[in-house]
Amino acid sequence: MRPGALTVGGVHGAALLLSLAGVGSTLWYGVDEPGNALAFGTLMVLGEFARWGAAPDEREPAPLAAAGALAYALLGASAGTATTHGVLQIVAVVVAAGLAGIVPHLARGRGPGLDHLARRVLTVGFAALCFQPLYNSGTVVEHLGQGPPYALFLVLLLVLTALCDAVLAALVLRARTGFPYGPLLRDELRALLGIGSAVCATGTVMALGVAAAGLWALPVLAVPLLLTQVSFRRYAAVRTVNRQTIVSLARATEIAGCTPPGHAHRVAALSAAVGRELGLPGAELTVLEHAALMHDIGQLSLVDPVEGGATALLPAEEQRRIALLGGEVVRRTGVPEAVAVVVERQADPYREQPTAARIVRAVNAYDDLAGGEGAGAALDALERLRLGTARDYHPDVVECLARVLARGGAAGVTSVASG
């Protein structure tokens, strides 16, 4: 069994054990304050329903459900009356609401993955375990009162919970993809500044609002996050349309017979894998992927096509001319300027290139030289790249490419040894 499978299995197993303990305890002892449990559970179910249209790779496809779960975990009072529910009941409500909320999605064959559900259970359990014993013992109120220090305490707990979730998410992605843990964790931490911060802020405000005004505060406080979610989905839809446009433009070179079928997609997938290996953040990875998809578009301006589309075999000046033509074409498509810069600088000496251009140049050359002819050709191509590290290919990029290929590369890329 692979170590990655053990990691994922451990996360799923821990979440399952905690869920069974929570549900079993709640069934045995009954539900404390059923009104609170029903209100927060309903909010979480509605939050799961609102995940319609979420992309499969969204970090938090159900932000309202996540905020409601965190608010219930940090609920110390309701309308001024101290609550009595405990950690295990919180877990049970989160599990029950999560299962009820995903039923319509499962019916459509689009249910959330187990990774997301396991993380939700573990992070909410962590938040509840940090807060409920301290509050129920009177320690929090005794030392902090109910004013600003108490609110800051809730914010601190949510920050710790968000960090816990980021660590879990990076561990699972590391196990699933084989990418280095450090860059994955940095990406997860950066994601906290987006929808993650909105979820944490809403969870804090909900807990404080219900403590002061009762359960009537829940629907009012849920509206801002719902509006944020709608805006985020629209932004994501625009990004999806832009990427589809870029993919269509990338296919133009294949349709015109300038490049072999699948070349642009192979270069884009492998470039993204190398970029992750080098620790590029999410925004730079997006630019890298788009530039890799369009890196050969300059060939459409040539009178005589390059044999086999292999620009890596051309003289340096000819490579440079094609790259400049490609940059000009990209600018006319309305694609962001950063993508055009990578395309036009992919043929420069590597010491003058941005990191994304170094990656595109090395990966394009590898695919041109390997030609999809098996492990022997792939090893020869990698060796030629290593011999070209004096001027053409950055040594760190070539070694990262070798490590990615040794692990199996990206989808559809031949696996070779890094020796």
pLDDT (tens digit, 9 = 90+) per residue, 255-289? 777 778 888 888 898 999 898 888 887 788 888 99
- The confidence score (pLDDT) of residue 122 equals 93
Residue 257 phi, psi (nearest 5):
80, 15
- The confidence score (pLDDT) of residue 54 equals 53
Highest mean pLDDT among 93-107, 119-133, 377-391 belongs to 119-133
Q: How far is CA 2 from the centre of its chain?
A: 23
| Buried-exposed string 107-140: b where 16+ CB fall within 10 A, e elsewhere | eeeebbeebbbbbbbbbbbbbbbbbbebbbeeeb
- The confidence score (pLDDT) of residue 91 equals 94
User: What mean pLDDT value characterizes the chain?
Assistant: 82
Per the DSSP assignment, residues forming a β-bridge with 81 are 78
Q: Is the pTM of this model over 0.85?
A: no
- The confidence score (pLDDT) of residue 1 equals 43
Q: Which residues contact 391 (CB under 8 A, 6 or more apart)?
A: 349, 350
In angstroms, how far apart are the furthest CA atoms of the chain?
A: 81
- The confidence score (pLDDT) of residue 415 equals 37
Which alpha helices (H) appear in 108-196, and where do they start and end?
Answer: 114-136, 139-144, 148-177, 181-191
Rounded to whole angstroms, the Cα distance separating 27 from 22 reads 9
Say whether pLDDT at 110 is over 80. Answer: no
Highest mean pLDDT among 3-17, 106-120, 395-409 belongs to 395-409
Among the listed residues 297, 298, 308, the one whose alpha carbon sits nearest the alpha carbon of residue 260: 308
CA angle 148, 153, 156 (to 5 degrees): 125
Q: Which residues contact 316 (CB under 8 A, 6 or more apart)?
A: 347
Q: Can you give the residue ranges of every domain in the chain?
A: 3-234, 256-406
Highest mean pLDDT among 58-67, 233-242, 393-402 belongs to 393-402
Rounded to whole angstroms, the Cα distance separating 43 from 381 reads 56
8 CB neighbour count, 10 Å cutoff: 20
More confident residue, 105 or 180: 180
pLDDT band for position 174 (cuts 50, 70, 90) = confident
More confident residue, 39 or 297: 39
Say whether pLDDT at 359 is over 60. Answer: yes
Say whether pLDDT at 150 is over 70. Answer: yes
pLDDT band for position 72 (cuts 50, 70, 90) = very high
- The confidence score (pLDDT) of residue 221 equals 87
Structure tokens at 202: 């809403």
Say whether pLDDT at 138 is over 60. Answer: yes
- 227-250: per-residue pLDDT in tens? 877 777 777 777 777 777 787 777
pLDDT band for position 410 (cuts 50, 70, 90) = low
Determine the average pLDDT of the residues in 68-93: 90
For 256-406, give the CATH class: mainly alpha
pLDDT band for position 41 (cuts 50, 70, 90) = very high
- The confidence score (pLDDT) of residue 412 equals 38
pLDDT band for position 112 (cuts 50, 70, 90) = low
Residue 77 phi, psi (nearest 5):
-150, 160
Judged by DSSP in three states, 360 sits in helix
Rounded to whole angstroms, the Cα distance separating 148 from 151 reads 5
pLDDT band for position 374 (cuts 50, 70, 90) = low
Among the listed residues 7, 350, 50, the one whose alpha carbon sits nearest the alpha carbon of residue 173: 7
Q: Which residues contact 277 (CB under 8 A, 6 or more apart)?
A: 179, 180, 183, 400, 403, 404
More confident residue, 106 or 38: 38
- The confidence score (pLDDT) of residue 158 equals 87
Q: Are the beta carbons of 211 and 78 closer than 8 angstroms?
A: yes
pLDDT band for position 113 (cuts 50, 70, 90) = low
Residue 263 phi, psi (nearest 5):
-60, -50
Structure tokens at 20: 């069974």
- The confidence score (pLDDT) of residue 197 equals 82
Q: Are the beta carbons of 95 and 102 closer than 8 angstroms?
A: no
Distances (CA, A) of 140 to 6, 108, 149, 246: 38, 45, 10, 54
Rounded to whole angstroms, the Cα distance separating 264 from 367 reads 10
pLDDT band for position 372 (cuts 50, 70, 90) = low
Q: What share of the chain is helix, strand, coil (3-state, %, to 5)?
A: 75, 0, 25
More confident residue, 158 or 233: 158
